[in-house]
Amino acid sequence: MRVLVLNCGSSSLKFQLIETSREQIAQNNDRVLAHGAVERVGSDDAKFTYQMAGREKEEKQQAVKDQKQAIQLAFDHLTAPGGALSHPQDVEAVGHRIVHGGEAFHESVIIDDRVLKDIEKLSDLAPLHNPENLKGYYASRELLPDAKQVAVFDTSFHQTMPPRAYLYGLPYEFYERDHIRKYGFHGTSHRYVSWRFAMLHQKKRADYKLITCHLGNGCSVCAIDHGKSIDTSMGFTPMDGLLMGTRPGEIDPGAVLYLAQRDPDGAQGMEKLLNHKAGLAGLTNSTGDMRDIQKRSAEGDQRARDAVDVFCYRVIQFIGSYATVLNGADAILFTGGIGENSSEIRAQVCQGLTWLGVELDAAANDQARGKDARITTEASKTPVWVIPTDEELLIARDTFRCIEGIPHP
């Protein structure tokens, strides 16, 4: 089955055309036929990148007014003569990344009218994300009326958390009436890397207790007990938990109140601050990009050093906390742009985990970049691995499984 995977953000579109089937999933040889992205959707100088398997990457700038035009642009390239598709109808299904599935969705589902209504309702909980994700759905439904459409949620993997992990200490009516609770995000990534780790060991996810660390621009840690998420560091929104590129992670709500009372833009000002100006960017008063911060830290910039320290300290704290709630972990997994590529950050985090018996293999850690690799010694009591995430692959497989009626593993 050829599945188009769409990830629509507020000003970006990422897409992949993936060929998958029962046999390909079993042999782990699903094929990415083409992939690309549109950045700065809604502007006159949007950047379009596209690459077909085995071909050179293409890049161009042009006006792209909305998500529909962005998806059309992707289609024009996918169906160009000699392209990845001879006809748009060759796409049998579209898998959509949907950020918030609330308590309604515990797994991926085919989008029908009822599902659509529920996702629209959930826009209240994710006003920055769900409406954007749905724009991709509406556009692809128009462009591909015969294709089945499937929703894959960032939150659904965490729906197995027990109330003790997801309830906040607020009057209960806020949970019942306003649905204020911890939801957690990055679920597709945590699910993928935990599955991949088990697969590399010819076992099942249900055989392990794992702590997965998705460290990218957004960051979260997850405690996975025999295949089920039992706690995660992001909360009601993706602002909570670890220090991130531009989000603060854990912060005393009293500090937010204090600032909100003084901000002339009130809640709106705070939204901007907490989503776009905090985290690594806030602490360094410049960039939220870890590569740049590490470079500045190596050059002796004290603020950059502090930012790296806060970042690693939080990761260590959460791993410690999740090792406790899991009553011991069989392995710790790193993924995401930072987790997959920064041997320095991994080394600094592992230094704080010697009590868990973590013994880093410095050479293996230095060489592990963007590939599956164990980075601890054979003697290490808790093995630590780098597992590059592949959310698109999981979205394509979920889409295929939903349509074929195959249970999600």
**Residues with a known catalytic role:** 154
341 binds ligand AMP (CB under 6 A): yes
**Nearer Cβ to ligand AMP (137/311):** 311
Minimum distance from CB of 35 to ligand AMP (Å)? 14
Using the rule CB under 6 A, give the single segment among 56-64, 229-237, 331-339, 360-368 that binds ligand AMP.
331-339
Using the rule CB under 6 A, give the single segment among 116-124, 289-297, 317-325, 376-384 that binds ligand AMP.
289-297
**Nearer Cβ to ligand AMP (2/247):** 247
Contact yes or no for 246/289 (Cβ under 8 A): no
289 binds ligand AMP (CB under 6 A): yes
Residue nearest to ligand AMP (CB): 337
Minimum distance from CB of 12 to ligand AMP (Å)? 12
371 binds ligand AMP (CB under 6 A): no
Contact yes or no for 32/53 (Cβ under 8 A): yes
- What number of chain residues touch ligand AMP (CB under 6 A)? 12
Q: Candidates 94, 126, 290, 387: give the one binding ligand AMP (CB under 6 A).
A: 290
Six-digit token pair at 394?
A: 């999981």
291 binds ligand AMP (CB under 6 A): yes
Distance between CA atoms of residues 237 and 155, nearest Å:
10
Q: Candidates 336, 387, 392, 399: give the one binding ligand AMP (CB under 6 A).
A: 336
337 binds ligand AMP (CB under 6 A): yes
Distance between CA atoms of residues 252 and 260, nearest Å:
13
Minimum distance from CB of 360 to ligand AMP (Å)? 17
Minimum distance from CB of 403 to ligand AMP (Å)? 29
Distance spanning both ends of the chain, measured CA to CA? 19
Four-point Cα dihedral 182, 183, 185, 188, nearest 10: 140
Six-digit token pair at 297?
A: 């830290």
Distance between CA atoms of residues 137 and 123, nearest Å:
14
Minimum distance from CB of 219 to ligand AMP (Å)? 9
117 binds ligand AMP (CB under 6 A): no
20 binds ligand AMP (CB under 6 A): no
**Nearer Cβ to ligand AMP (75/311):** 311
Instruction: Using DSSP bridges, classify how beta strands 31-39 and 12-19 pair: parallel, antiparallel or unpaired.
Output: antiparallel
Distance between CA atoms of residues 297 and 221, nearest Å:
24
Q: Candidates 9, 95, 102, 245: give the one binding ligand AMP (CB under 6 A).
A: 245
279 binds ligand AMP (CB under 6 A): no
Binding mask 198-217 for ligand AMP (x = CB under 6 A): ------------------xx
Using the rule CB under 6 A, give the single segment among 88-96, 235-243, 285-293, 303-311 that binds ligand AMP.
285-293
- The residues that bridge with 51 in the sheet, in sequence order, are 35
Distance between CA atoms of residues 311 and 303, nearest Å:
12
Q: Candidates 338, 368, 373, 403: give the one binding ligand AMP (CB under 6 A).
A: 338
Minimum distance from CB of 45 to ligand AMP (Å)? 22
Minimum distance from CB of 290 to ligand AMP (Å)? 4
342 binds ligand AMP (CB under 6 A): yes
Interface residues with ligand AMP (CB under 6 A) are 216-217, 245, 289-291, 294, 336-338, 341-342
